[in-house]
Structure 1
């Protein structure tokens, strides 16, 4: 069934004017000018084909037509509020659905989520199977992606945009000459990779296994460098990409999401 177009803004103005019986006080409530209130009322009267207010010596009065519509209108506004609350309740405040690269989750994100959950036993995390999972299809709250910026999403950078060349310690010179490539690795020009990995996680595992050298985001390699499982082949350098925490604006504005963002970026 086709629904009648409702001039919701004008109806909101009508409700305020009817409560105050004053265009001026309605304007103060709505943070607009009295002239704007008058224009909205006139437009609503034209749309409905009825007169809603009359001016008398005592001030503004509702017509019988205006009186007849007022109670159903206010009931409708209450139902709108109930609808909004129901939709917001669907985004449970204690449940987070997150997509992140497996390797980044393992070396960086998991420990931080554990600290965030400490003292909050009711919090639940649902992890998507792939970092590029669609926000709407998976009902995601947040996603972590290795990218050069947020694009058309809201976002905050989680790690420095730096990369480093690494290899397993004690590897032979021949092994160290073998490059491990992955999409976005930015290997030196002319490199002939011995291994082509599908993602930086596979490249990291290959380097740890002593299969060659690779270029990794610094954040991904830091733990293995610190405990001696990898060694740096030179200093880290600036990179075009970093790990970003991303979400569409509606999710970004959620109170629970803001709390997690503030924790992860503190």
Structure 2
């Protein structure tokens, strides 16, 4: 069924004028001029084909036609408010759905989500492994991606794009002369790979196991280096891709997303 076009702004002005029985006080409430209120009322009367107000010696009065529609109109505005509150329910929620690479979650994100929950005990998380999942289909609030920029999304870079060459402290001479190849880090020209893996997490595990050396994001391996699980052979050097927190603009504007982003990027 085709819906009738509703002049919602004019109806809002009409409601205010009917409550105050004064264009001046209605204008004060709506932060507009009395002339603007009068224009909206005249436009609404033209649209409806009826007179809503009359001026008398006692001031402004509603006509019978104007009075007849008020209860339904105000009930409709209450429904609008309920609808807006329902749509904002996710914004007020303490539940987060986050997509992140598995290795980054284990090495960097999980400890920080735990720290955030210490300060916000009611927070609940749902983790999605595919960081490139569709925000709408997966109902995501936020994603962590290893990219060269946020693209069409809103985003915050968690750290500058830096990369290092790492290997296990106990790696053999043979391992130090061979590479671990993964899609996110092209090897130097002529380099020989001892193993090809599918992602940064597998490259990190392979390097830590002594299979060879790997080029990896500094943010991903920093804690493993500090803990002595990996040794830096080269770098950190400037890289092209960095870990970004990203989300579409509607999610980015949510208070809960702003709070978590501020904590993680502090």
Q: TM-score, normalised by structure 2?
A: 0.89
What secondary structure, in the 3-state scheme, does the structure 2 residue paired with 1:234 have?
strand
Q: Could you say which residue in structure 1 is the equivalent of 2:12? A: 12
Q: Distance in 2 between matches of 1:60 and 1:193?
A: 86
Superposed counterparts of 1:151-230, under 5 Å: 151-230=151-230
Contact 2:146 2:241 in 1 (8 A): yes
1:76 partner SS: helix
| Counterparts of 2:160 and 2:130, CA distance in 1 | 23
Question: Deviation at 1:218?
Answer: 0.5
- More displaced stretch, 216-225 vs 114-123: 114-123
Matched, 1:148 2:139: no
State whether structure 2 residue 43 is matched by structure 1 residue 49.
Answer: no
Match of 1:69 in 2: 69
Deviates more, 1:144-153 or 1:74-83: 144-153
Give the secondary structure class of the aligned counterpart of 1:232: strand
What is the root-mean-square deviation in Å for CA atoms of aligned residues?
Answer: 2.2
2:229 is aligned with 1:234: no
Q: For residues 28 and 238 of structure 1, do their structure 2 counterparts lie closer, same or farther at Cα, with a shift above 3 Å needed?
A: farther
Contact 2:91–2:255 under 8 Å retained in 1: no
**Aligned-pair distance for 1:189?**
4.2
Q: Which residue of 2 aligns with 1:265?
A: 265
The aligned counterpart of 2:117 is 117
Q: Deviations over 1:105-155 (max 9, x none)?
A: 001110111111125443221111311121111221211111222222222
| Distance 1:36-1:193 versus aligned 2 partners, 3 A rule | farther
Could you tell me how far 1:237 is from its partner in structure 2?
Answer: 1.5
Sort the Cα spacing of 1:197 and 1:39 in 2 relative to 1 into closer, same or farther, 3 A.
farther
Question: CA–CA distance in 2 between the matches of 1:188 and 1:50?
Answer: 79
- Work out whether 1:78 is the aligned partner of 2:82: no
Deviation for aligned residue 1:22: 2.8
Shift in alpha-carbon separation, 1:140–1:37, aligned structure 2, 3 A: same
How many residues align? The count is 266
Moved over 6 A (4+): none
1:28 counterpart = 2:28? yes
| Range with bigger deviation, 64-73 or 103-112 | 64-73
Structure 2 residue ranges without an equivalent (≥5): none
Q: Unmatched 5+ residue regions in structure 1?
A: none
Q: C-alpha separation between the residues in 2 aligned to 1:157 and 1:171?
A: 32
Question: What CA distance in whole angstroms lies between the structure 1 residues aligned with 2:3 and 2:198?
Answer: 50
Task: Please list the CA deviations of residues 4-46 of structure 1 after superposition, one character each: whole Å capped at 9, or x if unmatched.
Answer: 2222222112212222233333233222333333332233222
